Chain A
Amino acid sequence: MATTAITTDTKWWGGGKSPFNVEYGKLMMWYFLMSDAFTFGAFLIAYGTIRFSSTGWPDPNEVFQSFPGLGSGLPLMFVSLMTFILIISSVTMVLAVRAGHERNKAAVVKYLFWTIIGGIAFLSCQAWEWHHLHEEGAWWGRNPFVNQDGTASSTNFTNFFFTITGFHGFHVFSGVVINIIMLIMAMTDTFERRGHYLMIEKAGLYWHFVDLVWVFVFTCFYLI
């Protein structure tokens, strides 16, 4: 504790050292994620504004009630599975980053592999859900669902749903691609030659951000 007390007293802005004590790439990844948070925030706030200006909205328990192979009548079950897949893949990413700190190549490869599997599983679930909703007649500009009180609903519901979950799915897809590149770089010893696995940390930040955005998207569309 004594040493940390001294280091916080050090003059970080006195010159000769990095004032934020993080690597350039990691800091820039944080600023990118902050700007991305505003993009998603703008989308979700637009959705909220429209919802606040509408007199009714469909009940998510009615819209999202199907599970592949089990039929319908299971409200929110499938999206719960998707949420847990993303949480678990975030955990394996934390373990991959930690293995990178220990410079344990085998563990990095193992955990990155499981993270990629989680990402692909999430994307497959989303593909199934979109396909199912499309079969029910929902798409951009088409809304077969009525409001919770039985009144006619507008296409705002489906437009926002497909746009925002699509934009999030696109982020998951880019995350999977980045993780695959990280896996290849780890397997070909690129990080070993470099002497550090800091790149995994930056990919990890992006992957956790994707999980973080899902927390918000999931709450806004499926719960409230």
Chain B
Amino acid sequence: MAHSDHDSANKNEVRNVTIILSVLTIVELALGFLMYKSFNDPGFMRSAIKGIIIILMLAKAFYIVSYFMHLGHELRNMIMTIVVPLGLFFWFIIAFLYDGHTYKVSRLTYDKYKAESANVKQPAIEKNEEKRSETGH
């Protein structure tokens, strides 16, 4: 009797997690689409939407790992041997993204050529030439 109870609970869990993952994906897609359509310039709103998308991504990752991969049902000690090393990602992400940002800022500050060329639109002629050479192939 306990067995069939467990089975139907399991079945509902699979169905619920599938629905959650699908809904989160649709919300993410809508946000990703809106972000570039409504907020043409990078700024606070765009960063805020990107933040929301990343939070939704982490929620999806949690549901996949915890329910589909059943990590939530393992012993705590075993979970910790997987999760604790992944904590290195906190340093990994912050250090490297900050490094990339610093590189950009110092280059724009000290390299005048880079600072000027960063604002030059791609010339239309060059694009046409590319098109022509493509069709020539």
Contact = CB atoms under 8 A, between A and B. Distances in A.
Contacts of A38: 88
B86 A95 contact: no
A128 interface: no
A216 B14 contact: no
Given A56-B118, A215-B57, A45 B96 contact: yes
Nearest to A29: B69
A52 B103 CA distance: 9
B128 interface: no
B69 A59 contact: no
A1 interface: no
A12 B119 CA distance: 63
A177 interface: no
A96 to B, nearest CB: 11
A212 B64 contact: yes
Contacts of B99: 49
Interface residues of B, number: 56
Interface string A204-221: 110011011001100100
Contacts, number: 145
B101 A223 contact: no
A203 B68 CA distance: 12
A107 interface: no
A contact patch SS:
helix
Contact of B50 (A75, A204, A224): A224
A216 to B, nearest CB: 7
A218 B76 CA distance: 30
A222 interface: yes
Contacts of A34: 82, 85-86
Contacts of A60: 32, 36
A93 B64 CA distance: 12
Interface string B110-137: 0000000011111000010010001000
Contact of A83 (B25, B82, B92, B100): B25
B74 interface: yes
B93 interface: yes
B57 A151 contact: no
A208 B86 CA distance: 17
Nearest to A79: B29
B65 interface: yes
Interface string B64-108: 110011010011011001100110110011001111110110011
Nearest to B10: A98
Interface of B: 7, 10, 14, 18, 21-22, 25, 28-29, 31-33, 35-37, 50, 53-54, 57, 60-61, 64-65, 68-69, 71, 74-75, 77-78, 81-82, 85-86, 88-89, 92-93, 96-101, 103-104, 107-108, 118-122, 127, 130, 134
Given A52-B104, A219-B28, 10 more contacts: A34-B82, A42-B92, A48-B93, A49-B96, A55-B118, A60-B36, A95-B14, A147-B122, A204-B69, A215-B61
5 contacts: A30-B82, A53-B104, A75-B33, A152-B120, A224-B54
